[in-house]
Amino acid sequence: MNKQKNKIIRSICYFTNTLEAGILDRIETIAERLAGAGFEIQTRRICSTEISIKEIDSAFQDSSLYLSVGTLSRETAHDQFNDFLNARNVAFNLNLSSGVDPQDPQFLFNIMKKRPDKTFSFAYTFNNAPSSPYFPSAHYLKNGFAVGLQPTDLSEGCESLDEWLQNMKTVWTEIADIFLQDSDFIGLDSSIAPLFTGKSSLIYFIKKLYNSFSETVTQDLYLRITNFIKHENPKPIGLCGLMFPCLEDFELADEYEKENFSIERNIYLSLHSGLGIDTYPIGIDESPNRVLEILCLLQGLSQKYAKPLSARFISDGTAKIGEKTDLKNQYLKDVVVRPL
């Protein structure tokens, strides 16, 4: 395979505790250096701390810029709820590491009722790792930038898992070398972040190598992948785990519709160094108590295994269990919603 193909940066994220105008210039300089090395840049992002949702939303006028206020407490999240609903493109996550309150699911259902499209920008997190450039799990620790890839595309033309893994390592090393002298380069989140179908889909590649997705669930395949991405990354930061975004990986959405990706299977795979429940469909008539049970389980598993987990549920605000969604989001595939 030509190592110069399919080098895609999903996210350049600058973490900052101030909102100085020079941040945008710095992000652009970073993007230009990566583009000059043959990388395609998908998104530019800023994650700040001690800044309100309203402040960060009004500070930047570029609608293509992804913004985040990182991790919020329950109190702050409730205080800024309306600002979150009215903001253009601001994400955050709610930290439930210390325990789940019976009222925590209601926050999600309030979003579903008032601005369901905003479910895409919200997640519950448990023992979250700082400085990941992926939203909505991004969490500020210190000033500087992190980079995240869409590494599934590097699997194009690969005939084995090892070939794909080596392609990723080559690109990680290239990025680390590009920013070797940059003191504000925090690191590279080597998480597997799939999207759509074909070469960008993790499940597409898995099914090309194996007979079926279901067959791989009880193999050590995902353990081997996550062991590699955690230990072979030359400058690791953030989550460095395996994402199973149900509606973003369109081939995984197909598995969901075939009843091959239940919430139980999702959680089980998350223990293979996965990152939790991501873009998972939820019906507007789902029981809040069922969400509570799932959040309690994730919190307990996160504590037991000392690993980051998260939960991001997606609703269009109208689809009930048994009905097809109409999400109007190019990054999410519409499916018939199943009970959790």
What is the tens place of the pLDDT at every residue in 287-332? Answer: 999 999 999 999 999 999 999 999 999 999 999 999 999 999 999 9
- Of 23, 28, 30, 73, the C-alpha closest to 48 is 23
Written as one letter, the residue type at 265 is R
Tens digits of per-residue pLDDT, 177-188? Answer: 999 999 999 999
Question: How many residues make up the chain in this entry?
Answer: 340
- Of 336, 328, 338, 335, the C-alpha closest to 116 is 328
DSSP string, 251-309: HHHHHHHTT-S-HHHHHHHHTTTB-EEEEEE--TTS-HHHHHHHHHHHHHHHHHHT--E
Q: Is residue 114 part of a domain?
A: yes
Q: Is residue 279 part of a domain?
A: yes
Q: Please, is 98 exposed, middle or buried when counting C-beta atoms within 10 Å of its C-beta (0-12, 13-18, 19+)? A: exposed
The CATH number of whichever domain residue 75 belongs to comes to 3.20.70.20
Cβ within 8 Å of residue 82, ≥6 positions away: none
Question: Is a pLDDT exceeding 80 seen at residue 1?
Answer: no
Structural contact between residues 213 and 207, judged by C-beta atoms closer than 8 angstroms: yes
Q: Is residue 234 part of a domain?
A: yes
Tens digits of per-residue pLDDT, 51-92? Answer: 999 999 999 988 899 999 999 999 999 999 999 999 999 999
Q: How far is CA 79 from CA 72, 74, 95, 322, 339, in A?
A: 10, 9, 15, 34, 31
Q: Is residue 320 part of a domain?
A: no
Structural contact between residues 303 and 310, judged by C-beta atoms closer than 8 angstroms: no
Q: What is the structure's pLDDT at 5?
A: 82
Q: What is the structure's pLDDT at 152?
A: 97
Give the DSSP H/E element, type plus range, for residue 9: strand 8-16
Helix (H, G, I), strand (E, B) or coil at 91: strand
Angle of helix 250-257 relative to helix 202-209, nearest 10 degrees, comes to 70
Tell the residue number behind the tokens 């995240």, with chain if given: 148
Give the DSSP H/E element, type plus range, for residue 187: strand 185-189
Tens digits of per-residue pLDDT, 5-31? Answer: 899 999 999 999 998 879 999 999 999
Residue ranges of the alpha helices (H) in the chain? 22-36, 53-59, 74-79, 81-86, 104-114, 161-178, 202-209, 213-216, 221-231, 250-257, 263-270, 288-305
Q: How far is CA 149 from CA 94, 119, 171, 191, in A?
A: 24, 23, 9, 8
Q: What is the structure's pLDDT at 274?
A: 87
Tens digits of per-residue pLDDT, 304-313? Answer: 999 999 999 9
Q: What is the mean pLDDT of residues 37-49?
A: 96
Structural contact between residues 235 and 187, judged by C-beta atoms closer than 8 angstroms: yes
Tens digits of per-residue pLDDT, 210-261? Answer: 989 999 999 999 999 999 999 999 999 999 999 999 999 999 999 999 999 9
Q: Which domain holds residue 176?
A: 8-314
pLDDT tier for residue 4 given thresholds of 50, 70 and 90: low
Q: Is residue 332 part of a domain?
A: no
Tally the domains of the chain: 1
Q: Is residue 90 part of a domain?
A: yes
Encoding tokens for residue 286? 């789902």
Q: What is the mean pLDDT of residues 39-59?
A: 95
Q: What is the structure's pLDDT at 2?
A: 39
Q: Is residue 334 part of a domain?
A: no
Per the prediction, the chain carries an average pLDDT of 96
Q: Is residue 338 part of a domain?
A: no
